Amino acid sequence: MDQRRSCFTIVTLTPQIVTFGCLAAFAPLAFGDEPAPEMRFEDLEAHRVVSEHGVVAADHRLASEAGAEALAAGGNAADAGVVALLALGVANPFGSGLGGGGFCLYRGADQDETAVIDFRETAPSAAHRDMYVVDGEVDHSLARHGGLAVATPGEAAGLWSLHGRFGRLEWEEVVEPALQMADQGIPVGATLATHLQSMADTFEEWPQIASVFQNDDGELLAEGDLMVRDDLVRALTLLRDEGVRPFYVGEIADAIAEAAQAHGGILSADDLAAYAVERREPIVATFGDYEIHSMPPPSSGGIALVQALHVVAHLDLNGERGEADYVHAVVEALKHAFADRARWLGDTDFVDVPVDMLISEEYAAELAARVDGSSVLQLEDYGTVAPDPEGGGTAHLSVADAEGNLLACTSTINTRFGSMVVVPEYGIILNNEMADFNVEPGEPNIFGLIGNEQNAVAANKRPLSSMSPTLAFHNDQPLMTLGASGGPTIISGVYFTLLDILAFGLDPLDAVASPRIHHQWVPNTLFVEVEDLSFSDELEKRGHDVEVRRAYNAVQIILRDGSQWIGVADPRKGGIPAAPQSPNESP
Ligand code: GLY
C-alpha cells in the first residue's frame, strides 16, 4: 500500500483530540503558497526507505548503510546503533563523536520496559558556579570554545554499555566499520563541507582542529574530497582491541585531560576515571491511544514534549493543520512547556524537579485553560511562574530491526566542532557541553535558552539538554522511533512530527519535510522556516512576533506500518536511511 498522503489506519484518536483528527489528515498542507515539500527538497524520496527487515535512519548515508550491514550480518538494533553512531563520528565529526555524549532509549521486542542510557557529558569535579566569571563579569565565550568548555565525555562508555546490555555481535565487529571508514577514507559530504566553510574564520583561531580538516595545500576539505583520519584510526583501534577502558583510564584518558588543560581547561584524568553511565527511567505518557516514552532529566526533552502534547490534547484546535488557529494553539502549548523548562529543569541528581506535576493531565488542563485563542499572553504568564531572572552539532539516529527492537539515540559534542579542542594523537574533538548550563543563571545560554539555578554549573553535574530520543507504542506494540538534532528546536521538531503523524496521519516523509516552526518562550519570537506563510499576518495580529529562520532540526524517524518499517532521514542535513534487502543481504 502506498502510504504517501494517507491517513494511517492505526490512528485511533480519543474524543479529546478528535477535533483535529483524521479529516484534517486528508486536507492538503495549508502552508500558503509555499511549494510542496517535494519542490523544496531535491529528490525527497531518496530520504525514505521501506523494509520489513529493519531500517537505520541516520543523518549520513554511510552511517545508515553501515548500520544496515550490521543488521544484515545478524545484529540487532543495538548493534546497528553502535555501528552507526561510531560511523557518524567519522562522517559528520562536527556534530557527534568520541569527545561527546548522549542519550539512548532501547526497547527489546521481548521486553516490557524501555531502557534509558544516559551517557551525557559531566562537569569536571573542579567546576563551580562562578567558573566563567572574569573581573566580575561572566565571560560566555569561555563556555563555548577552549578547554573550560569541555565536560567529561561519555560517548565511548555509553556505546559500550548499549552494546554490552543489548548487542549480539562481537564488540570488534561493531567498531570495525567506523575504523575502516577512517582508515580508507570517505568523501566529504555536503553538510560537512558547508560547516567547514562556515567555520573558516573561527578555525583561524584554532589551527590544530583546522589542520585535521585541511588538505596538503592547507585548504579546508571540500565536498567530495577524500577524508582519511589516521588520528582517529588510533583511537578506534584501541576501542576495537581494548574496549572502553583506555578512554577512561590510561593513554587516551590522559591525552584527553592534557588536551583540555593545554587550552585552559580543568578536566582531569580523575574525572575520566570517575565517569559513569547512568540508567534512568523513561518519561512515559499517553497521547490519544499511543504511549510515548522519552528522555528524562538531565534532558528537558521528554518532559517538555509530553507537557506540550498534553496541553494540545486539551485544546479545541478549531481548524486545520497549518492554519492560524491551529498554529497559534500548538505554539502556545509549546511556550508553556519551554517556560517550565526554564523554571524547573536541571539534573535531578542535583536539584528537585517536579516531574510528575509537569507531565500530569491536571496541570496540562490548567495550562490549556490559560490559552487564549485570540491573543498571546504576557511572557510571565506561561508555565508555573516566571523564571529567575546557533546550533549545527548533534546527531540523531533511529533504528528498528526485523524483530521489532527499537533504538533512539541522540548524541552530541554540542555546537559545531564542540570546544574546538582536539586531542592531537587521537583526533577526538572535545565537546563544549558546559555551554548547555546556564553559566549565568537568568541569562540566555548559547541557544538563547533561559534557565535558573536549577541548571547552574556544579561539580559533577550534567548540563540540561534538549535531546529527545523518543519511542512510541500502540496497543503495547512498537510503533515508532524518532528524535532530532538541533539544540532547542529538537523539542519542537519531535513535537510537530509526532502531532503530524499521530493526530493527522501524515506519512513520515511528509511530516519531516513540512516547513518547521519553533518557539521557545524566550526569545519571544515565533520562528518559521519559510517565508510568506498564509497564517503569518493572522498570527501577528494575535501578538506573535514572526521571524524567518532557516536553521532547524534534522529529524530521523522510523514508523511501523504492518510488517514494514518506513524510515526517513531528514533532507535538511542530507540524511539517507538504509535497510538490508533481506536479513542476510547487505544494502
Ligand atoms: N547540546 C544540545 C543539547 O543537549 O540540547
Amino acid at 350: F
Whether residue 485 contacts residue 573, with contact meaning beta carbons closer than 8 Å, is answered with yes
User: Look-up: residue for cell 539534573?
Assistant: 347
User: Look-up: residue for cell 551517557?
Assistant: 119
Whether residue 391 contacts residue 490, with contact meaning beta carbons closer than 8 Å, is answered with no
Kindly state whether residue 357 falls inside one of the protein's structural domains: yes
Question: Does residue 359 carry a pLDDT above 50?
Answer: yes
Closest ligand 1 atom to the C-alpha of 415? 1
For residues 39-61, average pLDDT: 92
The structure's pTM equals: 0.91
Q: Which of 316, 582, 573, 342 is nearest to 456 (CA)?
A: 342
SS3 471: strand
Please indicate whether residue 465, judged by its CB atom, sits closer than 6 Å to ligand 1. yes
What end-to-end distance do the CA atoms of the chain give, in Å?
Answer: 22
Separation between Cα atoms, residue 393 and residue 302, nearest integer Å: 20
Q: Which of 258, 255, 252, 259 is nearest to 206 (CA)?
A: 259
Kindly state whether residue 192 falls inside one of the protein's structural domains: no
Q: State the catalytic residues.
A: 394
What's the pLDDT tens digit per position in 295-308?
999 999 999 999 99
Please indicate whether residue 487, judged by its CB atom, sits closer than 6 Å to ligand 1. yes
Separation between Cα atoms, residue 84 and residue 199, nearest integer Å: 25
Please indicate whether residue 394, judged by its CB atom, sits closer than 6 Å to ligand 1. yes
Please indicate whether residue 176, judged by its CB atom, sits closer than 6 Å to ligand 1. no
- Count of domains observed in the chain: 1
Which 3-state string (H, E, C) describes 75-103? Answer: CCHHHHHHHHHHHHHHHCCCCCCCCCEEE
Question: Does residue 474 carry a pLDDT above 60?
Answer: yes
Kindly state whether residue 207 falls inside one of the protein's structural domains: no
Pairing of strands 278-280, 226-227: unpaired
Question: Does residue 312 carry a pLDDT above 50?
Answer: yes
pLDDT for 453 equals 87
Cα 208 from chain centroid? 28
- Separation in Å, CA 296 to CA 267, 301, 354: 26, 7, 12
For residues 355-365, average pLDDT: 95
Cα of 414 to ligand 1 centre, how many Å? 6
Average pLDDT, the chain: 89
Q: Running DSSP on this structure, what letter comes out for residue 420? A: S
Kindly state whether residue 215 falls inside one of the protein's structural domains: no
Cα of 316 to ligand 1 centre, how many Å? 32
Domain assignment of residue 266, given as a range: 1-185+228-587
Closest ligand 1 atom to the C-alpha of 490? 5
Please spell the DSSP secondary structure of 3-18, one letter per residue: -TT---TT----GGGG
Cα of 463 to ligand 1 centre, how many Å? 8
Sheet harboring 564-569: ordered strands across? Answer: 48-51, 564-569, 554-561, 477-485, 470-474, 290-294, 283-287
Question: Does residue 8 carry a pLDDT above 60?
Answer: no
Separation between Cα atoms, residue 356 and residue 344, nearest integer Å: 12
Whether residue 278 contacts residue 350, with contact meaning beta carbons closer than 8 Å, is answered with no
Cα of 308 to ligand 1 centre, how many Å? 19
Helices in 489-549 by DSSP H: which ranges? 489-498, 508-513, 536-541
What's the pLDDT tens digit per position in 236-258?
999 999 999 999 999 999 999 99
What's the pLDDT tens digit per position in 489-536?
999 999 999 999 999 899 999 999 998 999 999 999 999 988 878 888
Kindly state whether residue 68 falls inside one of the protein's structural domains: yes
- Separation in Å, CA 397 to CA 67, 198, 559, 577: 10, 25, 13, 10
Closest ligand 1 atom to the C-alpha of 436? 1
Question: Does residue 285 carry a pLDDT above 50?
Answer: yes
Please indicate whether residue 467, judged by its CB atom, sits closer than 6 Å to ligand 1. yes
Please indicate whether residue 485, judged by its CB atom, sits closer than 6 Å to ligand 1. no
Angle at the Cα of 104 from the Cα atoms of 474 and 165, rounded to 5 degrees: 100
Separation between Cα atoms, residue 135 and residue 137, nearest integer Å: 6
Please indicate whether residue 345, judged by its CB atom, sits closer than 6 Å to ligand 1. no
Kindly state whether residue 198 falls inside one of the protein's structural domains: no
In this structure, which residue's CA is closest to atom 4 in ligand 1?
A: 465
Residues 6+ apart with CB under 8 A from 556: 57, 58, 59, 396, 397, 398, 482, 483, 484, 567, 568, 569, 570, 575, 577
Which phi and psi (to 5°) does residue 306 adopt?
-65, -40
Cα of 65 to ligand 1 centre, how many Å? 26
Kindly state whether residue 382 falls inside one of the protein's structural domains: yes
